[in-house]
Amino acid sequence: MIEMRHLRYAVAIADEGHVTRAAEKLGIQQPPLSQQIRALERMVGTPLFHRLPRGVVATDAGQVFVARARQILSDLKDAVEETQRAARGETGTLSIGFTSSAAFHPLVSSAVRALRLSLPDLLLRLEEGATEELTADLIAGRLDVAFLRGVTTQAAQLSVEQVHQEDMLLAVPDDHPLAHPPGTDRPEPVDLRDLAGETFILYRRQSGQGLYDRIIAACQRAGFSPKVAQEAPKLASTLSLVAAGLGISIIPESMARLETSGIAYRRFRESAGLLAPLYLAWRQEPGRAVLEHLVREVKARAALHAAPPAR
């Protein structure tokens, strides 16, 4: 049976034009090399080299064999290198999911950008979805990692870590009385109880259960149940409805980075307890170096963002 060593032997002899020099290059003795070439010729069924008084030269058949041997050896080298790069997480595909609010958090965008710059040959597949959808996709293997705002019972099958926590802000139309309270340049934080009579626009619960439930719970602690007139399919859509004057909303602070005219943002008093956590969830898969790259990158950047203490 022809083996890879036979290919290397044939190429070395063709390159050197001399069996003794080829043996020195290969680090073996000349007699065993000659025996291996004769055995190779018997397996192929035809002479590969003309033996000359001072060296050897490939026959026509030998030239064909050597050319193909070079290609096979080159392909094998490439295969090994590509395999090693994949093992180091430098190539392949990484599927990343995120909820609509998480997509605007600077931690998410900066981590993904850093991964793309450090591993340019890595293919990133990005998917937006609701928390439950993303969690199900993680468990089913359709996603590798996801940024979530809440954790469902399904997440018990995953590795989940809170990587950040940010304040939530009040978003009101810019002509709303709370937008610019008269007589003050720096308005005091809003008391959540003052919103009891307002009309709310929230991101629908099916899409963002974690944030929705936190807002409802905070309002109930403040002594009222919010009057929810609209539930938008996307969190960004709530801002458009607020700008249109259809109500007020409560959003993660990072969402205020969106340039939406017609909206004013106000902070809440600490007693409101309105905080928006950011979780990283992933499947534990030994050997997925690329996934480990992203997890390390996110954790490093989370440390730089220094999440505020829980209130």
pLDDT digits (tens, 9 = 90+) for 136-162: 999 999 999 999 988 877 777 899 999
Taking alpha carbons only, the member of 39, 19, 37 closest to residue 29 is 19
Q: What is the mean pLDDT of residues 55-69?
A: 94
Domain ranges of the chain: 4-87, 96-163+278-305, 164-276
pLDDT > 90: percent of the chain: 54
- Please report the pLDDT score of residue 45 as a whole number: 94
DSSP 34-79: HHHHHHHHHHHTS--EEEETTEEEE-HHHHHHHHHHHHHHHHHHHH
Are 239 and 171 spatial neighbours (Cβ–Cβ below 8 Å)?
A: yes
What mean pLDDT, rounded, does the chain reach? 88
pLDDT in tens, 237-254: 888 899 999 999 999 999
Contacts of 16 (CB under 8 A, 6+ apart): 22, 25
- Alpha carbons within 13 A on the beta-carbon side of 215: 25
| pLDDT tens profile 208-235 | 678 889 999 999 999 999 999 888 877 7
pLDDT at 307 over 50: no
Do domains 4-87 and 164-276 share one topology? The answer is no
* 285, pLDDT greater than 80: no
Question: 309 falls in which pLDDT band (50, 70, 90)?
Answer: very low
Query: Do β-strands 93-98 and 227-232 pair in parallel, antiparallel, or remain unpaired?
Result: unpaired
| Contact predicate 167/264, CB 8 Å | no
96-163+278-305, what's its fold? D-Maltodextrin-Binding Protein; domain 2 (3.40.190)
- For residues 94 and 142, give the distance between their C-alpha atoms in angstroms, rounded to a whole number: 10
pLDDT band at 35, cuts 50/70/90? very high
Q: Would you say 311 and 113 are in contact if contact means Cβ atoms under 8 Å apart?
A: no
> Are 133 and 143 a contacting pair, CB within 8 Å?
no
CATH of domain 4-87: 1.10.10.10
- CATH class name, domain 164-276: alpha beta
In this prediction the pTM is: 0.72
